[in-house]
Amino acid sequence: MNVLIVFAHPEPKSLNGSINKFIVEYLETSGHQVKVSDLYAMNWKASIDSNDNVAAYQNKVFQPTHDSLEAFKNHTQSEDIVAEQEKIIWADIVIFQFPLWWFSMPAILKGWVDRVYAAGFAYAVGEHSENHWGNRYGEGTLAGKRAMLVVTMGGWESHFSARGVNGPIDDILFPIQHGILFYPGFDVLPPYLIHKTNSIDEERFSQIQAELATRLDQLASQPPIAFRKQNAGQYDIPALTLKAEIAPGKTGFSAHLEDE
Amino acid sequence: MNVLIVFAHPEPKSLNGSINKFIVEYLETSGHQVKVSDLYAMNWKASIDSNDNVAAYQNKVFQPTHDSLEAFKNHTQSEDIVAEQEKIIWADIVIFQFPLWWFSMPAILKGWVDRVYAAGFAYAVGEHSENHWGNRYGEGTLAGKRAMLVVTMGGWESHFSARGVNGPIDDILFPIQHGILFYPGFDVLPPYLIHKTNSIDEERFSQIQAELATRLDQLASQPPIAFRKQNAGQYDIPALTLKAEIAPGKTGFSAHLEDE
């Protein structure tokens, strides 16, 4: 398979750097084709601006969505954006590897999403009618591909548990896994999480390698998170609220998971 | 009062630009002192790296948290970071104004948080013992200050409702309001939200101005969101899980709100 790893950590000699090296070597040894977008090494530009459309002209009012769509349609996106979109299209699986900073991804990775996820590519795709509200949440350009998060965090597992002070990690990651990955069509595999990064000794690192190897062996076979598809009859359109008979009375992020 | 507005939109002539202008003028007319960190106009550097410590030397392994703490303690932070920290210290209230991009803040604003929220300043503050786990979530450097989000989004209000496909907006914003604002000590006011940004006509914009004016008049008086304080006896330490007798059986983000 073709695997793209989007990697966001500033230091190759860090725990994240070591994990990234392990993932690449393990996948290559297993016979996969691997590409890495090492955002710090690439000096990735994080902020959307009018330069993202090489056809942009001065004195125009910059409208991020409109401009993104025009650039995508007219093939005037900046080269760095096109290169990343081509890598995604090439990939069967995309792994996003990053440290959790302030309960989200590092800015450089958010900037990869903001810029690479162009209008016409990752959103504003498909018809919007009374039966169908865009090709999104289970449909879209990236349908048929898989994605997985590999996330490190300083906090303890209990801090991110169902009653932990930070909130449950599944909920913290929902805006990413559902809002960024499932939205343009990815099937989203359960994340691989590494806690207490300040106390990783050799024994623990060996354990992480073994667990990761298992997860990497299952990239093609592991069942994805069962998010509900938006246009498959479970949501009222265009309100996009769950129909009354679907998970009656249930609210919040977990209502968007299929009943077990 | 002293009000800092941290503003993240690339186009001054946008809806966000107009709202920013209105907020600044309204606050100044009301007799407040106002500073604006217009991140795009400042060309704010979004990505944490070793240059954030002017004392950094080559061939050292860059450890983001360690380096941030050293720089903060030794007064070797880069000037742009120090300037923002000084503005926060100066402010009684900080307003964060941004468009919701991919269910979070634009990368440039995430990069403001990642870099300005230094170790020793916004985290890694206070003792860690069996009774107290850092000055955070209700305590910290920014205790006594207030913060508020002003957020625009293209989606409809129903899309972000309790059973809406995007998830409830309170939950989408929890990692920001609880994890980024309450964590270093801010009292967090309810957000001001603007939906369906593609269909804002003059009448709607007048309504937004009127609603915002009311909210700005109440900056000092409105009750903050009642997040539970971490070190006030409701959480087991160091597990940082809610004690069994607190909101028994309740899980998820809303468990961290005081009972009504």
B80-106 pLDDT tens trace: 999 999 999 999 999 999 999 999 999
ipTM of the complex: 0.97
Distance CA A22, CA B236 (A): 36
pLDDT score for A57: 63
* DSSP-based three-state secondary structure for B73: helix
Measured distance CA(B126)–CA(B120) in Å, rounded: 9
A180 has a chain B CB within 8 A of its CB = yes
Beta-carbon separation of B240 and A10 below 8 A: no
pLDDT in tens, A66-85: 999 999 999 999 999 999 99
Q: What would the mean pLDDT of A175-199 be, rounded to a whole number?
A: 97
Look at residue A101 and give its three-state secondary structure. strand
pLDDT band for position A130 (50/70/90)?
confident
Task: Kindly state the average pLDDT of the residues B7-34.
Answer: 98
If pLDDT is split at 50, 70 and 90, which confidence band does B58 have? low
Rounded CA separation B141/B120 (Å) = 9
What's the Cα-to-Cα distance from A172 to each of A227, A253, B102, B185, rounded to whole Å?
16, 10, 14, 20
pLDDT at B73 over 90: yes
Q: Which CATH class is domain A2-225?
A: alpha beta
Does residue A216 surpass a pLDDT of 90?
yes
DSSP string, B181-211: IITTT-EEPPPEEE--GGG--HHHHHHHHHH
Contact check, Cβ <8 Å, B103/A239: no
* A58: confidence class by pLDDT, cuts 50, 70, 90: low
- The CA distance from B69 to B76, in Å, is 10
The whole-angstrom separation of Cα B229 and Cα B226 is 9
Contacts of residue B151 in chain A, CB cutoff 8 Å? none
DSSP string, B73-101: HTT-B-HHHHHHHHHHHH-SEEEEEEE-B
Task: List the 111-140 stretch of B: residues with Cβ below 8 A of A.
Answer: 111, 113-114, 117, 137
Q: Is B72 helix (H, G, I), strand (E, B) or coil?
A: helix
Q: Which two tokens stand for residue B156?
A: 């409809």
Residues of chain A with Cβ-Cβ distance to B180 below 8 Å are 102-103
Determine contact, residues B126/B132, Cβ cutoff 8 Å.
yes
Strand pairing report for A192-194 and A146-152? parallel
Over residues A195-205, the mean pLDDT reads 95
CA gap B226, B257 in Å, rounded:
5
Which of the residues B9, B14, B38, B47 would you substitute to probe the A interface, choosing the one with the greatest number of A C-beta atoms within 10 Å? B47
Question: Cα(B143)–Cα(B230) distance, rounded to whole angstroms?
Answer: 13
* pLDDT band for position B130 (cuts 50, 70, 90): confident
Nearest to B168 among A111, A159, A251 (CB): A251
B185: left (phi over 0), alpha (psi -120 to 50) or beta: left
| Sequence ranges of the domains in chain B | 2-225
At B235-258, the pLDDT tens digits run 999 999 999 999 999 999 999 999
A200 close contact with B: CB closer than 8 A: no
Structure tokens at A99: 């440290």
Distance CA B15, CA B200 (A): 8
The pTM (predicted TM-score) of the whole model is: 0.98
- Average pLDDT in the B128-150 region? 96
Residue whose C-alpha is closest to residue B211's, from B190, B192, B195: B192
